[in-house]
Amino acid sequence: MEHLATLAGLRKLSGLVEEEGKKMPITESILEHELFGPLIRKGVEEGVLIGRQEGRQEGRQEGRQEGMRNQATTMVRRALEMRFGSIPLWLEDRLRNKSVQQLEDWLGLTFEATCVEDLFH
């Protein structure tokens, strides 16, 4: 096929060969080809393996980040409860939606605040 493409290019027939190739019905699976089949299957298997490894790595990273966020949320909640007593539900909702950095900032503000509302000013 490579030689045909080269000859077609040299004879300025590549457009015609491409058109004819599009008209030809596909009667065989390339996966069954004795030369290309094993190469394609190997490439697919390697791609699947790499995809799985990347997925696991991404999952671990997301798990670490979620764990850090949960830990930071717990620390802020405890600090607020120690400082102000039980915290209102609306504040619980806000805690759940904060990033680790925002929670760390809130933790610092908890020690300076005179009331829960001071966290928002």
Q: Where are the domains of the chain?
A: 1-27, 33-120
Q: What is the pLDDT of residue 62?
A: 92
Length of the chain measured in residues: 121
Side chain identity at 6, as an amino acid letter?
T
Tokens of 60: 């671990």
Do the Cβ atoms of 104 and 110 come closer than 8 Å?
no
What string of pLDDT tens digits covers the 121 residues of the chain?
555 556 555 566 667 767 776 776 666 777 788 888 888 888 888 988 898 999 999 999 999 999 999 999 999 999 999 998 988 888 888 888 889 999 998 888 888 888 888 877 6
Q: What is the pLDDT of residue 3?
A: 58
Task: Decide: residue 101, CB within 10 A, 0-12 exposed, 13-18 middle, 19+ buried.
Answer: exposed
Task: Decide: residue 103, CB within 10 A, 0-12 exposed, 13-18 middle, 19+ buried.
Answer: buried
User: CA-CA distance, 121 to 26, in Å (whole number)?
Assistant: 69
- The tokens 């680790």 sit on which residue? 100
Do the Cβ atoms of 80 and 110 come closer than 8 Å?
yes
Side chain identity at 117, as an amino acid letter?
E
